[in-house]
Structure 1
């Protein structure tokens, strides 16, 4: 487990002088090290670990990221904890950072300022202490390094001569995952007029996060089709080609049953496909998982 940080620190600069294609250290950064890191995660069905030594050529700053797939399944967007190695391999940061590729493509010259503003907003939403407010310096003039510096939300630094042992590394990763989850919940808006306890608010936020995940939604629609399961409305019948493959995927698992931190998703049983009206109405029920109650309401008023 300690090889995740130690091997790149000790060998990256030497290997960087060699051919990139087929390099064993490059391959371990893409595959073995992410797999080792995944073993300490509390819910491997939810989190995806990815690493990179560069694309087509060595990068100044190799990285290994932990992605919450309810937020993003690519390091190019969203936010996530990531190990970022300094270019001179004098140390490595564990940083709660932001995907910079999409921001750079959309905002271009303003990308750095956008990332800084978002980082400030994210920091305001989580419970951190002064030790977390660490600026990162990746010792590189590459555009990505500058954007990672701007996008850093919180960070912890390990110098090459004082790398953490397995227990320390595990504790730090789990703590950053806790802050990651806290940010996930607090970055998802709910109706604050509802009289909810703190745990109920987290459960509602998790419900909406699952429901709005585009990857999950696509799988549900591919499996269940595009006819409303409450009122049988078919968008194609009403709107022709404009309505093809248009429907909402609604998460049916009772909110009170959602576990915080660990959960399993069953595409076949945990979701319904609903038209826009039915999707809005089911969220007005006391129990938005009660599809049968919604059907009864429709039948009684036909």
Structure 2
């Protein structure tokens, strides 16, 4: 396929058939009108017409979203326009909206490449992908046959090589993809299967998880097919994750917790036509007891008596209805009506809401910055905003927080100016005076407020203004270390204590004793890099995403950007920002391919960075993978655009020096950013052609990682003109 790269992979993540039909609708509208901007009403009409006419012709197509309409015949144009929001956002790398969201077009850079031949090839690409998708709908894989295949062949397969085994493909990819096509399993659910991690599991499984309450089988509640170790039967179960509760509480208290939750859920849910007992027998080992204790309800299918597909699907739909009822109640439990769904559509809508709120306040930030800030928070609760003075770093933090309902009035936003004389953590956390009384610092007071049970679902933002006026490693070292102790406990992320209880007076222990960094607190440091400030160590850089503010366009005026309608503030639940993964193993099974692609890129980069002893370790590998996973999950940017930002924020800040080796490393990194081979030996003598091309304006050529390329060009210029370069000196 000779399509430009930004077009050749747009259907890699299918998201049902909506993206393919949207692209075809846009191309049909262009061929009819020859205009380059299309009214959303016209595109929605074409989109809806495709599904309605296909059904009239007896073709198998996607059903409309569950809960909206029972068939496309009942679907309205206004409902279609709302539906289009998701595929438009998923294709935001090539599409843009205008006229307040009432018009849509390809981005100018894409139009430049859409000659007649490219349009025809793009249309053929979309039709081929759509036909393949619909063919799978018309003849889906049999659930009965799949379950039977696993039970009949799994024991024999365990004596065969584990890697790339067909049963792994069946459980990890084929079955999850087919279950996602069922009308009652939409994008709010994560579907994953496993035959083990590197070695054959005794009990393979296939799980369906509501993203509002869990994203891992280690904790929370989910629906799962569990295969008995002897493959005599498979159980469709409503189950609780046992790994985290038993690890955090110990086996005795963990069992008590799981048993209590089982009783509560059985009282809450109808659970009709299911077994509600402990007679689930998977294995003779201790793991079997874990499953017995954690199972809420189940249906057993014996290997020689598996019902037909119609009954299996009906059972699954019944189980999912109960699960949805529980998830709906859990999402609103004791939270004043604040819902907590974290899925592609809700994240995209919330980010657009944040952008609109910021514009309404008369401020404008470059494209994808809010998405980048969100993904950085989601990856790790510590972000650094760097750049020249007056670019709006502190204001961005304040506006982002206010758009989520966090402000100084409700104490969810705190601005802490850093003083040059700070030399230890006491300036933030507090100290004991001569009488032994504890005098809390500003940060400790926020942590106390955020840790209160009634506030644990609210996000709290702490902005350390001009963070590097003092040496960060001196006053912030305790926080940097504590961030690395995060672990799951009772469905929350907890850390080791910042303040030891034993060191305090009894009257202070109840408030400050054992105070830790809760999972609803987000730390943001703003920094100006000049001769008055201190540089950052790799210990700091490893633990943060560093977002730079150095490219300034002054020709922006408030009256150009203010929206017509007032934007309401959303009091968002902390699950919107909180990390879902703490270790790569939590996300590996579902995102294996993306993790491998990302790691392979980092391995090549590490080979370059080793020359100057700046190569990265597992902490950065995992953080970059998490960032890429969240981006793919919420479909905020293209994969190349997201990795571009990670190169800029996690790799380049580590590079500095004055030697020829540093220059060679920058040139080698530039080759990867441009996606083409450079004459490195010649450029070692004079690299001016690179940084002349990569000025503050976009170059004419299209490259793989443009922001990284621009930054490297500036760093090369500093090296040649000043004899020294650093990420911070542009």
Task: Normalising by structure 1, report the TM-score.
Answer: 0.68
Decide whether aligned partners of structure 1 residues 13 and 185 sit closer, same or farther in structure 2, where only a CA change above 3 A counts: same
Offset of 1:133 from its aligned partner? 1.4
Alignment correspondent of 1:99? 241
Alignment correspondent of 2:293? 150
More off after superposition, 9-18 vs 240-249? 240-249
In the alignment, is residue 50 of structure 1 matched against residue 227 of structure 2? no
Decide whether aligned partners of structure 1 residues 37 and 240 sit closer, same or farther in structure 2, where only a CA change above 3 A counts: farther
Offset of 1:79 from its aligned partner? 0.3
Alignment of 1:97-246 (within 5 A): 97-110=239-252, 111-129=254-272, 131-187=274-330, 188-190=332-334, 204=337, 207-210=338-341, 216=347, 220=351, 222-223=370-371, 226=397, 227=399, 228-229=402-403, 233=407, 238-240=415-417, 243-244=462-463, 245=522
Give the distance between the partners of 1:142 and 1:231, measured in 2 at CA: 49
**Which of residues 562, 571, 583 in structure 2 aligns to 1:250?**
571
3-state SS of paired residue (2:147) = helix
Query: Deviation digits for residues 118-149 of structure 1, max 9, x if unmatched?
Result: 11111111123474314343341344332122
Q: Which has the larger radius of gyration?
A: 2
Alignment correspondent of 2:148? 6
Give the distance between the partners of 2:291 and 2:183, measured in 1 at CA: 24
Query: Deviation digits for residues 134-193 of structure 1, max 9, x if unmatched?
Result: 43433413443321221000111111111121111111111111100111233342589x
**Which of residues 162, 166, 170 in structure 2 aligns to 1:24?**
166
Give the distance between the partners of 1:33 and 1:240, measured in 2 at CA: 53
CA RMSD of the aligned region, Å?
3.5
Decide whether aligned partners of structure 1 residues 230 and 116 sit closer, same or farther in structure 2, where only a CA change above 3 A counts: closer
Contact 2:228 2:234 in 1 (8 A): yes
Offset of 1:266 from its aligned partner? 10
Contact 2:405 2:571 in 1 (8 A): no
More off after superposition, 157-166 vs 110-119? 110-119
Alignment correspondent of 1:279? none
Contact 1:63 1:83 in 2 (8 A): yes
Contact 1:115 1:147 in 2 (8 A): no
**Which of residues 210, 218, 222 in structure 2 aligns to 1:68?**
210
Query: Deviation digits for residues 53-90 of structure 1, max 9, x if unmatched?
Result: 11121111111000111111111111011000111111
Give the distance between the partners of 1:60 and 1:230, measured in 2 at CA: 45
Decide whether aligned partners of structure 1 residues 41 and 56 sit closer, same or farther in structure 2, where only a CA change above 3 A counts: farther
Contact 1:136 1:155 in 2 (8 A): no
Alignment correspondent of 2:388? none
Contact 1:53 1:63 in 2 (8 A): yes
Number of equivalences = 240
Unaligned runs of 5+ in 1: 193-203, 253-264, 268-302
Give the distance between the partners of 2:155 and 2:228, measured in 1 at CA: 11
Q: Which has the higher helix share?
A: 2
Give the distance between the partners of 1:72 and 1:10, measured in 2 at CA: 31
More off after superposition, 238-247 vs 162-171? 238-247
In the alignment, is residue 83 of structure 1 matched against residue 232 of structure 2? no
Unaligned runs of 5+ in 2: 1-141, 355-369, 375-395, 419-442, 444-461, 464-521, 525-568, 574-633, 637-730
Decide whether aligned partners of structure 1 residues 53 and 238 sit closer, same or farther in structure 2, where only a CA change above 3 A counts: same
Alignment of 1:30-41 (within 5 A): 30-41=172-183
Alignment correspondent of 2:723? none
Give the distance between the partners of 1:147 and 1:251, measured in 2 at CA: 35
Alignment correspondent of 1:296? none
Give the distance between the partners of 1:136 and 1:60, measured in 2 at CA: 19
Offset of 1:216 from its aligned partner? 4.7
Contact 2:188 2:343 in 1 (8 A): no
Contact 2:211 2:342 in 1 (8 A): no
Give the distance between the partners of 1:105 and 1:173, measured in 2 at CA: 30
> Greater relative contact order: 1 or 2 (C-alpha under 8 angstroms, separation 6 or more)?
1
Contact 1:34 1:51 in 2 (8 A): yes
Give the distance between the partners of 1:100 and 1:84, measured in 2 at CA: 14
